[in-house]
Chains A and B, each alone.
Chain A
Amino acid sequence: MTQDEMTDTNDGTDPTANAAADTPDPSGDPLVDQSIDVEGTSTTEQTSGTARTVLESRNLDVYYDDVQALNDVSLAIPAKQVTAMIGPSGCGKSTFLRCINRMNDLIDSARVDGELRFEGKDVYDDDVDPVALRRRIGMVFQHPNPFPKSIYDNVAYGLRVQNQTENMDEKVERALKHAALWDEVKDQLDKSALDLSGGQQQRLCIARAIAVDPEVILMDEPASALDPIATSKIEDLIDDLAEDYTVVIVTHNMQQAARISDKTAVFLTGGELVEFDDTNKIFENPENQRVEDYITGKFG
């Protein structure tokens, strides 16, 4: 109930009370304070200090068999902003992303401890249906992975499996427009999606994810397999998407994180979240020496 009220008031004029009520972050109190400090420098109209928390992890540990992939991760992801996760390979950032919509359930050896709350509800509670969860949290993968079906059927896939078949043409068109792909494909909707270029395929995957109107979009290095032009298109798109959706993006590319994100989480080896703060703060004046070393390229 309270969640709905918060959603309603989110764009309102007085969200600070909500934010204060909603982010009693046990681990990150200093982080929140600092983020309010640098509020003035943030470029987006809605600053991190005032945003409502959508996703929150507390002391999250993930193991693959005996290997620990995430170690005691606690962070709070604000609504309708872009949150980037950066860090060297194998640091657990993708694992964290895949925990959010329980894609790790598909890996038999994965085991999750701790809390991960989406809209206040622990997604690993027994009564949470991962299928229903994934309908609210969409995902875009590293390599464009359209189905070998027509462009139309790709975008309509989520609508069909979720049984939202009313006004399908309209929804498909809206999703493709939102993903900035409509003008390129509007005359060839019945062509195979595999005939598109890599960048177009990735935008198609984004269209596919937003067609069902999720609340959160997870992106796992969405531009790493693309050329610079396609990458810049995807980055522009992510910027637009943040107006309507909460975006969580994993990236290897620190410049990309600096360009597109409002908040940045730095994971370092061992699955440890070392610092989580406003992007400007992380890149200009990080608290942690190891983070500074990583960002300045001294290691990683």
Chain B
Amino acid sequence: MATQDGLETSREGDQQVSRMRGRIFEAMCLAATAIGLVAVGILLLYVTADAIRPFSADPGWHLVFFATLVVPSTGFGLYLYARDGNAGKVAYTALGLGLIGVLLAGALVILFVEIFPYGEWFALSIALAILGAVTVVHRRYRRHAETERTGLLIVTLLVTVFGIPPGAIAELLGLPFYIPSVRGLIASSPVLPLDWIMLVPSLVLPVAAAAGWFVRGRRESNRAGLVTAGAVIVGSVLGVGLGPVVGVGVEGWMLIVLSTAVPLGLYVESVLRRDEGRLGLLFPVVLVGGTLLGAVLTRTLGFAGPDPWLDWGFLTSATSTTPADAGIYPVMVGSIMLLIVIVLTTFPVGVGAAIYLEEYAPSSGLMGRLVTLIEINIGNLAGVPSVVYGLLGLALFVRFFQMPTGSVIVGGLAVGLLILPIIIISAQEAIRSVPDSMREASYGMGATRWQTVRNVVLPEALPGILTGTILAFGRAIGETAPLLMIGMAASVRVPPNGFFSRSGAMPRQIFQWARQFDPAFLNGVLPAGVVTLVFVLLVMNGTAIIIRNRYQRGS
């Protein structure tokens, strides 16, 4: 009896000691987490406060918006949270869709205005339509001649999009004549229709058809599909009258309808049809209504709002020597174009390398050792400082290939080199996470390696690959050092007019503002630029997280 008691107490004593250690360890881990988060959080709050300057507003303004916006939306949000989980989900999905739609519309407008004119897009879509028609016709008459079809597609693509010989090559080699492409013919025609007229067949009709098809499948009724398609077309064309009145222009109206109203409408339709969490749809209405009401009230009551550095003017104008006029627009366009170059070059190369290393490369013998060596060094490359990549870009692209200093293409390639190892490694991880039993099942059915990769491995790995790549692109858009090395412009007044023209980039511009002596730059323009850049990063990372969550729910 006594010995047993003794044993028990000693055991309890042991437990207390270990529990204590555990608690200290837990507290230290919590502290470690908190230090990083709190430091970044405070910095971001500080910078945001500088950029928005909320305290420059009348107290009455805050009071009005508190009453019309904060109280109702918080109350409604809490009510949804407590009462109806589904409605909460609907609320934030609807809000997120609207937000992303508006951002997408903005990006599309920038794309069409600065980079890829409506005429080009119109011509390209006609070329692609011809390509699609050729495929469909060929498939109908010669279903099994797949090789022939591929060849035909390549030839058609050359003829419709590039011409023979391809326009760029012909110019480069100085060939005197070539068969012009369909796209070339249209783009070079002296009279082009109005921008919005070109947008209707090339973008509105396809989106309307897709939305109609989607609803037709969901509701299993042809009529519902036709109504949806009709609504999309009517809603877009309404912009001819309404767009200029609202101030976004006809094309802006159309793009907003297509990127925001259409997905939102489809989502509302699906919520109403499933009858789950309908109440959540009211949440965005409460937010928008509260904002409008607040705006009307503050104006009638005469309360002045804040005077933020980060405003519409900042987003739409170029940098200037006077802080009040400075803006970020040209470098924002530059950053988008950089990102286009980075995506187009690193995604195929990085994912291709990852597929080769995981699916094809030998894993044993001498070659296997070589592959292991290469993989280890890809890991090392991911750790090489970005300045070194800038130097590499300078030496390789500017000095050796004689590309123009500071141009979009050189910047994109240099930063692309920097994130390539990250993309390869994350894509490898995603491909490796596809279980071997899937591959075995496919091989066991008599599938070739290519069929297995295409039908089984890639579809399974794609969400993981996309998540990793989007995070890497987020890193790329904030990179500064390589841009400094290859001589990106410090300050530009106009957006670049091509991929070979000299350009700025958001982080480069922020670096430039940080070197100004005027405190208005340091405390106003600089924070506004930082907030813009961070916001872009958050949106990209948010997209990556959404993709990952969808993927996890799917499996």
User: Which A residues fall within an 8 A CB radius of B?
Assistant: 101, 103, 106, 108-109, 131-132, 134-135, 138-139, 141, 143, 145-148, 157-158, 160-163, 194, 205, 208-209, 212
Q: Which of B445, B448, B451, B459 has the most CB of A within 10 A?
A: B445
Asked whether B362 is an interface residue with its Cβ less than 8 Å from the other chain, the reply is yes
Name the distance in Å between B108's Cβ and chain A's nearest Cβ. 33
Point out the residues of chain A lying under 8 angstroms from B443, CB to CB: 103, 106, 134
- Nearest A residue to B452, CB-CB: A161
Q: Which of B368, B445, B456 contacts A108 (CB 8 A)?
A: B368
> Which residues from A are CB-within-8-Å of B451?
161
Shortest beta-carbon distance, A32 to chain B, in Å? 31
B455 A161 Cβ-Cβ under 8 A: yes
Q: Is the Cβ of B365 less than 8 Å from the Cβ of A209?
A: no
A-B contact count (CB 8 A): 72
How near does chain A come to B147, taking the closest CB pair, in angstroms?
13
New A-B contacts (12) at CB < 8 Å, excluding given A139-B440, A145-B435, A163-B144:
A108-B365, A135-B445, A138-B445, A141-B441, A145-B437, A145-B440, A147-B438, A157-B442, A158-B445, A160-B455, A162-B446, A208-B441
Q: Are B446 and A148 in contact (CB under 8 A)?
A: no
Report the minimal beta-carbon distance from B508 to chain A, rounded to whole angstroms: 44
Residue of B nearest to A139 (CB): B444
A131 to B451, CA, bound (A): 11
Can you name 10 A-B residue pairings with CB atoms under 8 Å?
A106-B439, A106-B440, A108-B364, A135-B445, A147-B438, A157-B447, A161-B445, A161-B447, A161-B451, A161-B455
Q: Please report the C-alpha to C-alpha distance between residue A145 and residue B452 in the assembled complex, in whole angstroms.
A: 14
Residues of B within 8 A of A135 (CB): 445-446
Residues of A within 8 Å of B364, CB to CB, are 108-109
Asked if residues A212 and B445 are in contact (CB atoms below 8 Å), the reply is yes
From B444, B447, B448, B555, give the contact of A103 (CB < 8 A): B444
Contact partners of A147 in chain B: CB under 8 A:
438, 441-442, 456
- Once the chains are docked, how many angstroms separate the CA of A45 from the CA of B446? 32
Given A109-B364, A161-B455, A145 and B438 touching (CB < 8 A)? yes
B363 is an interface residue with CB less than 8 A from chain A = yes
Set of chain A residues within 8 Å of B446, measured between Cβ atoms: 131-132, 134-135, 158, 161-162, 212
Residues on B facing A (Cβ under 8 Å): 144, 362-365, 368, 435, 437-448, 451, 455-456, 459-460, 554-555
Q: In the complex, are the beta carbons of B444 and A101 less than 8 A apart? A: yes
A117–B140 alpha-carbon span in the complex (Å) = 43
Separation of A82 and B455 alpha carbons in the complex (Å): 32
Q: In the bound complex, how far is the Cα of B444 from the Cα of A147, in angstroms?
A: 13
Complex Cα gap A18–B443 (Å) = 33
Q: Give the docked Cα–Cα distance between A147 and B440 (Å).
A: 11
Docked CA distance A205–B448 (Å):
19
A176 to chain B, nearest CB (A): 16
Given the complex of chains A and B, what is the CA–CA distance between A2 and B16 in angstroms? 81
**Whole-angstrom distance between the alpha carbons of A269 and B554 in the complex?**
43
| Contact present for A148 and B444 (CB under 8 Å) | no
Q: Are B448 and A131 in contact (CB under 8 A)?
A: yes
Output the least CB separation between A217 and chain B (Å): 10
Contact across chains for B437 and A143 when beta carbons are under 8 A apart: yes
Inside 8 A of A103's CB, which chain B residues have their CB? 440, 443-444
Provide the bound-state CA to CA distance between A272 and B460, in Å.
Answer: 39
B436's nearest neighbour on chain A, judged by CB, is A106
C-alpha spacing A134/B449, complex, angstroms: 13
Residue of B nearest to A142 (CB): B437
Least distance between B359 CB and chain A CB atoms (Å) = 11
Please provide the 4 A-B residue pairs with the shortest distance between their CB atoms, ordered closest to farther: A135-B446, A139-B444, A145-B437, A108-B364
B365: chain A residues within 8 A (beta carbon):
108
Shortest CB distance B447–A (Å): 4
**How far, in angstroms, from A109 to B363 measured CA to CA in the complex?**
9
Contact B456–A209 (Cβ < 8 Å)? no
In the bound complex, do residue B447 and residue A138 qualify as a contact, i.e. CB atoms below 8 Å apart?
no
Q: B456: shortest Cβ distance to chain A, in Å? A: 6
> Taking the nearest CB of chain B, how far is it from the CB of A216, in angstroms?
12
A206–chain B nearest beta-carbon distance, Å: 12
> A141 touching B437 by the CB < 8 A rule?
yes
B554: chain A residues within 8 A (beta carbon): 148
CA A139 to CA B445, docked complex, whole Å: 7
CB distance from A65 to the nearest CB of B (A): 8
Q: A108-B362, A108-B365, A161-B451 are in contact. Are A138 and B444 (CB under 8 A)?
A: yes
Interchain nearest-CB distance for B528 vs A (Å): 46
Residue with the highest number of chain A CB atoms closer than 10 Å, among B439, B440, B441: B441
- A108–B372 Cα gap in the complex (Å)? 14
Are B363 and A209 in contact (CB-based, < 8 A)?
no
The docked-state distance in angstroms from the alpha carbon of A272 to that of B173 is: 69
When distances are taken between beta carbons in the complex, the residues of chain A under 8 Å from B439 are 106
Residues of B near A157 (CB, < 8 A) are 442, 445, 447, 455
Q: How far is the CB of B437 from chain A (nearest CB, A)?
A: 4
Q: With both chains docked as a complex, state the minimum distance between the C-beta of B411 and any C-beta of chain A, in angstroms.
A: 40
Is the Cβ of A209 less than 8 Å from the Cβ of B444? yes
CB of B555 within 8 A of CB of A205, answer no
Say yes or no: B363 contacts A108, CB within 8 Å: yes
- With a 10 A CB-CB cut-off, give which of A109, A141, A147 has the most chain B CB atoms: A147
